[in-house]
A and B are shown apart, each in its own frame.
Chain A
Amino acid sequence: MSASDLQSAPSAQEAAPPRPAWQVLLIRPETMTLALLVLAVFAGAWLSPFFLDISYILRSFTLYAEFAIVALVLTMVIIAGEIDLSPAANMALSACVFAWLQQAGLPVPAAVAVGLAAGLAMGAFNGLMVIGLQLPSIIVTIGTLTLYRGLAQIIAGDKSIRVPEWFIGVDKIMVLGVPLPVVIFIVLALALGFLLSRTIVGRQIYQIGTNEVAARHAGIRSARIKFGLFLAVGLVSATAGMMTASRLGSVRYDLGLGGELQMVLMAMLGGTYIFGGRGTILGTFLAAWLLVLVSTGMIVANVLPAVQLVVLGILLVVSIIATNFIYSRTQR
């Protein structure tokens, strides 16, 4: 509805009554993700008698937890109107740096610290290119995605580097019966959910993504916030890289290959709007579970991989159509 429409009907009627709460709830994209999640549970149980086993589902989630953790931070980057496609390559490079250093004799804690610092540096490099040089983030991070992966291959070669025995098995550590990577994911989701929905910085992120020029005029330090987000993605990616190294027991340059698509998929499935300004941590949180349940349900039922790809593709298309539809409706 445009401004002229409003003027042509001056005060002819009162402002529309607020939508009923159930309607507000129903037209949120996360609601659809939740509905699909429930559907996935039933479909999985119907496909295979081995599916409905909470410890199996939790164990399966650890295989995707590293990507899911990065996807949470990536959601904020997308809401702020940018994108980062380099996290999976960042995971590989920081893990290679860590593994290479500890193999060269550096104590493991120091090697981990350098690995995390490398992740931070990679995030800073992305940030400098995007914010400092004003380059489009999609181009920059496609470039660094290749660059970081290439550097990882230079460091590790085609061989794999072993990590010490005691460092192996982060996914085997249980906290109240839940694997540690899943706990990390849940805690991070709670923290970032709070940050995004309950703090000023959170609201500023939405404003930057909705209209960056307006946000800047309103005094929001958009450059600083966006740079911070790129740093956060870098650090969290490096952490995810260490977790992957611990889960696999070895590091290769192809660690997490193709993971960036899974991360973006999680954000999109959760209703994050690719052009920024909209989306929630809850949505990505639910979408990560949805993705794990759908993949796991199909794999344990021995569904053909081709069918699995088709199902995932349909899920994504449906969620994008639904998200766009919902947002265009609520904008009126």
Chain B
Amino acid sequence: MLKKSLLLGLAAGIALAGAALAADPVKIVYIGKNTGNPYFDSITGGFQDACKAKGCEFEFVAPATAEATSQIPFIEAQIQRGVNVIGIAPNSPDALNQVLDDARAKGILVLTVNGDLTGNESHRDATILPVNFDIVGRDQVEMVGSLIGYEGEIAILSATTEAPDQNKWIVGMNDTLKNDPKYAKMKLVATVYGDDQPEKSTTEMEALLSNYPDLKGVIAPTTVGIAAAAQVVQSRGIADKVHVTGLGLPSEMRDFIKDGTVKAFQLWSPYNEGWLAVHFALGVLDGSIKNEVGSTFEVPNLGKITINANNSINTQAELTTFNADNIDQFNF
């Protein structure tokens, strides 16, 4: 009987995943970049809570290292396990193309969550990113401007010279500084790279301070960089002179906020990425959400979500700003 209805379902052109839905709960897996990364605990929390609420099975797996190909055996294994949805934070923009194609050929919905296959978007069904990365640069300039009174020398402490996200944001920062008269009295004196290593970031920060004695603000749009920069400012006791801000993890920055080393910094809510991914995936599988550019859907707690160009979905319109008032509400 079940077999017959399955066959009928297939004959009617309904995807296998949709037909299996009637019998089994939807199986969703999220493949992180690597294990032992608190950032992913937060995303996973969103997946878990949403699956609890909607009645799907969720599992998180991740390789031991974030090396480009280390996720491939994990994707193969999930295909073999017959999951319905693979969410993944890809370790490479293209090394996973072939195996993700295999997964999609088996009818698995492939979502990149918190990272995308830039330039290879055709190898996944949709991407879920925290914010529209086009506005990050602008928001960060506004942040540092508000801290230094929109006047004086600023510098950028980034990750590696090749980091695609950071470079995109730095371009945004430069454009904003150049074109918006509000920031005309702010001068970007240097952009340096700490390679996302604490030691190198610290050295670069110290070099900035000695090369530019009039420096008033530093933007570090990377979690490693901002923590290193804050550490330098804290140990030198110059928090009233040099303002550090950027993108950081509340868990790493809590102490710097509490002792006043850092007044405010920004990021997004990784939790909401998992929450949104589950609602989106279930909607696509049961047909209530059309995975097309321009279509919209409602997600509890997040409101109306629109699918943007390249099937890209954002969980929030603006960056979240963390300061002494709200830092204790966040645990990632």
Contact = CB atoms under 8 A, between A and B. Distances in A.
Contacts of A42: none
A162 B63 CA distance: 25
B92 A160 contact: yes
A249 B67 contact: no
Contacts of A309: 64
Contacts of A159: 162
Interface stretch (A52-60, A75-83, A194-202, A229-237): A52-60
Given A63-B73, A302-B61, A308-B64, A53 B80 contact: yes
A30 B268 CA distance: 54
A63 B76 CA distance: 10
B98 interface: yes
Interface in A223-280: 247-250, 252, 254-255, 257-258
Given A300-B80, A306-B35, A158 B160 contact: yes
Contact of A252 (B64, B65, B73, B95): B95
A299 B63 CA distance: 9
B64 A306 contact: yes
Contacts of A306: 35, 64
Contacts of A250: 94-95, 97
Interface in B1-52: 35
Interface in B75-98: 76-77, 80-82, 92-95, 97-98
Interface in A93-111: none
Given A254-B68, A305-B64, A249 B97 contact: yes
A56 to B, nearest CB: 5
Contact of B59 (A59, A60, A169, A302): A302
Contact of B94 (A63, A160, A308): A160
A304 B34 CA distance: 11
B264 interface: no
Given A305-B64, A309-B64, A60 B162 contact: no
Given A160-B92, A160-B95, A306-B64, A248 B77 contact: no
A305 B35 contact: yes
B76 A60 contact: yes
B72 interface: yes
Contacts of B61: 299, 302
B98 A249 contact: yes
Contacts of B59: 302
A308 B314 CA distance: 35
A271 B48 CA distance: 45
A170 B107 CA distance: 23
Nearest to B161: A158
A50 B80 contact: yes
B70 to A, nearest CB: 9
A53 B82 CA distance: 13
A304 B68 CA distance: 19
Contacts of B77: 50, 296, 299-300, 302
A299 B97 CA distance: 20
Q: Which 6 residue pairs of A and B lie closest in terms of their CB atoms, listed nearest first?
A: A158-B162, A305-B64, A300-B77, A250-B94, A299-B77, A56-B80
Given A160-B93, A309-B64, 4 more contacts: A53-B80, A63-B72, A248-B98, A299-B74
